[in-house]
Amino acid sequence: MARKNDLSDKELPKAKLDKKALEKTKRLFSYIGKHKWKLYLGLFFLLLTGATALLFPLLLGKLVKTIENKDFSDINRIGALLILVLIGQSIFSYFRVYLFVNYTENTLATLRQKVYAHLITLPMSYFVQKRVGDLNSRMSADIAQIQDTLTTTIAEFLRQFILVTGGLIFLVIISPKLTLLMLAIVPIVAIAAVMFGRFIRKTSRKVQEKIAESNTIIEETLQGITNVKAFANEYYENKRYTLSTQEIIKIGILGGKYRGSFSSFVIFCLFGAIVTVIWYGVVLASRNQLLIGDLISFILYSAFVGASFGGIAELYAQIQKAVGAVERVFEILDEKAEPLQIDGQNGQLVSLKGQIEFNQVAFTYPSRQEVPVLKKVSFQADKGQTIAIVGPSGSGKSTMVSLLLRFYDPDSGEILIDGINSKNYALTALRNNMAIVPQDVILFGGSIKENIAYGKPGASLEEVKEAAQKANALAFIENFPEKFDTLVGDRGLKLSGGQRQRIAIARAVLKNPAILILDEATSSLDSESERMVQDALDNLMVGRTSIVIAHRLSTIRHADKIIVLDKGNIVESGTHEDLMRLQGGLYQSLSKLQNQVTVG
């Protein structure tokens, strides 16, 4: 089944242009700042562009009148005026476009910066409920829609409005009778053409969707070609693709019928409307009620008004999409952020010792309030101790780490750091005293040096090298031709799992935290990589309070205390030796199970 990863501009949802939506849209202009004068000057040039466009049919009509009046003395003057109008319109259009683009780019740069700065300060609970693709779409497709609207759509909408209004005034002045006929025919035909065109575009999108579905079949088949051949399903896949392409044929042919009908509609209705207006104009001219020069001007103004009517309908739809995009972008800015310091100081003035105490901590995730995750958990870790947390999957191990980092706050109870409730610390300062080495390390797409220095932005190369050495990473880094400038690739995929893990450890070493969190840091590694990583971790844990979530119990035998979680409760606690002496205990059962798996 085909899936769309992002929305094209035409697929962005629209918003009703009601009072509430317009109030939200007004907020957008608060980001213009010192560039407001460019908007006002651009609007001035927009008015001049519309005015000069309206002068053009009038002057052409006067030029033709010189033949009717047989007064050729004004031919050169009117011709010169037409050239000046064209030159003026060209200059005004240049400055209008330049000024609108200038203020739009500056406004949206400020908006992007504000949205991104706010987005990264939102709590983890927000990101759990949102898809990354949706947030990325708001930062790209939605802001691109706003950009197009501010740069061209609004200006063009106002220009078309000027042409419609001014054109109608000139039409009434030239011939009220002919104007009534034109208003009865041309706008209706133009709007009908626009509506017909939209219907055809919908059909075209259906064809594209079906093509996407058929391409998905190809992609899935080739990616799983081993399964296809192993199950001898070549016939089935071929039939599936054939049925998909037949659907494309049906919709494509239907679209061809619609496009053919549309072409016939345009030829008959639009040109028929023009012929009708010209015919009636000639009738009026034959009765000496209209000059041929005025008829020429009238036809040009009619073309302006008809085209602008159709254009306004399309531009209005674009503005609706832009208003919807503005609402979605401001939804991010309206979310309550964490009280973080992102001014570069990072709250480094606070230095923790690393004493931790969970006191009757209970917690339930906001999205799953019917399932308690932790139930009045209490334990203490003294400065420099290693506390291991073990238990079945879903017992609440990772949740304890999330609470310690204050990704979430407990529903009840308290977490004390150095005897002070963690809520009383500045959030940035608290997290600056902690470092985490996760199970699945995701590196940024830059160099090895940049990824290690992420633990201490601005660190020197010597500091980075020292951290890499302590993490047992220096040897493999030095073997790369570009050494610390080696690019790790997207998410670090150019490095092995063990190499990524040691880069993460080097990052933690460089941060020099008081509290170290190891979230199953060796569970997915082979034996050789595990040995290297475990040696680096042992060095890193010296002198720090370490919270270790362990999957392999063999890695935590020497922990000062092992906490066994089950269904959100601490069911056992003690050293490895203490827990192994508990007959029928959960830790003993887990240990025996792992030994059986290892032997097997």
CATH value at residue 151: 1.20.1560.10
Band (320; pLDDT cuts 50, 70, 90): confident
In this prediction, residue 191 carries a pLDDT of 72
- On whether both 102 and 190 belong to a single domain, the answer is no
Over pLDDT 90: what percentage of the chain?
Answer: 0
Please determine, for residue 525, whether its predicted confidence score (pLDDT) is greater than 70. no
Please determine, for residue 357, whether its predicted confidence score (pLDDT) is greater than 50. yes
Q: For residue 92, what are the domain limits?
A: 13-172+321-338
Band (4; pLDDT cuts 50, 70, 90): very low
User: 316 vs 594, which has greater pLDDT?
Assistant: 316
- Does residue 535 sit within a domain? no
- Does residue 455 sit within a domain? no
* Rounded-to-integer distance, Cα 40 and Cα 37, Å: 5
* Chain segment 51-82, per-residue pLDDT in tens: 888 887 777 777 777 776 666 677 777 788 88
- Summarize the confidence of residues 195-219 as an average pLDDT: 74
- Does residue 473 sit within a domain? no
Please determine, for residue 393, whether its predicted confidence score (pLDDT) is greater than 70. yes
User: 18 vs 219, which has greater pLDDT?
Assistant: 219
Q: How many CA atoms lie less than 13 Å away from 197 in the CB half-sphere?
A: 11
Residue after which a domain boundary falls, among 277, 303, 338? 338
Please determine, for residue 269, whether its predicted confidence score (pLDDT) is greater than 50. yes
- On whether both 77 and 206 belong to a single domain, the answer is no
- On whether both 421 and 569 belong to a single domain, the answer is yes
- On whether both 136 and 18 belong to a single domain, the answer is yes
Phi, psi dihedral angles at 566 (to 5 degrees):
-150, 120
In this prediction, residue 3 carries a pLDDT of 40
Residue after which a domain boundary falls, among 338, 369, 397? 338
* Chain segment 481-510, per-residue pLDDT in tens: 888 888 887 777 778 877 888 888 888 888
Cα of 333 vs its chain's centroid, Å? 14
- On whether both 221 and 329 belong to a single domain, the answer is no
- Does residue 325 sit within a domain? yes
- Does residue 55 sit within a domain? yes
- On whether both 371 and 277 belong to a single domain, the answer is no
- On whether both 145 and 58 belong to a single domain, the answer is yes
* Chain segment 81-113, per-residue pLDDT in tens: 888 888 888 898 888 888 888 888 888 888 888
* Chain segment 423-457, per-residue pLDDT in tens: 888 888 888 888 888 877 778 878 888 888 888 88
In this prediction, residue 368 carries a pLDDT of 80
Classified as helix, coil or strand, 173 is helix
* Rounded-to-integer distance, Cα 558 and Cα 517, Å: 16
In this prediction, residue 10 carries a pLDDT of 44
- Summarize the confidence of residues 562-567 as an average pLDDT: 85
Worst-scoring range by mean pLDDT, 12-16, 109-113, 139-143? Answer: 12-16
* Rounded-to-integer distance, Cα 203 and Cα 201, Å: 5
- Summarize the confidence of residues 516-545 as an average pLDDT: 73
User: Strand 420-421 relative to strand 412-417: parallel, antiparallel, unpaired?
Assistant: antiparallel
Q: What is the mean pLDDT of the chain?
A: 78
- Does residue 572 sit within a domain? yes
- On whether both 140 and 88 belong to a single domain, the answer is yes
- Does residue 23 sit within a domain? yes
Contact (CB, 8 A) for 366 and 125: yes
- Summarize the confidence of residues 404-433 as an average pLDDT: 87
Most confident of 213-222, 386-395, 491-500: 386-395
Q: Dump the DSSP string for 82-134.
A: HHHHHHHHHHHHHHHHHHHHHHHHHHHHHHHHHHHHHHTTS-HHHHHHS-HHH
- On whether both 70 and 146 belong to a single domain, the answer is yes
- On whether both 161 and 185 belong to a single domain, the answer is no
In this prediction, residue 599 carries a pLDDT of 44
* Rounded-to-integer distance, Cα 32 and Cα 402, Å: 39
Worst-scoring range by mean pLDDT, 14-28, 38-52, 433-447? Answer: 14-28
Band (1; pLDDT cuts 50, 70, 90): very low
CATH value at residue 519: 3.40.50.300
- Does residue 124 sit within a domain? yes
- On whether both 282 and 157 belong to a single domain, the answer is no
Please determine, for residue 207, whether its predicted confidence score (pLDDT) is greater than 60. yes
Total number of domains in the chain: 3
Contact (CB, 8 A) for 547 and 516: yes
- On whether both 139 and 209 belong to a single domain, the answer is no
In this prediction, residue 2 carries a pLDDT of 38
CB proximity list for 443: less than 8 A, separation 6 or greater:
451, 488, 491, 492, 495, 500, 503, 504
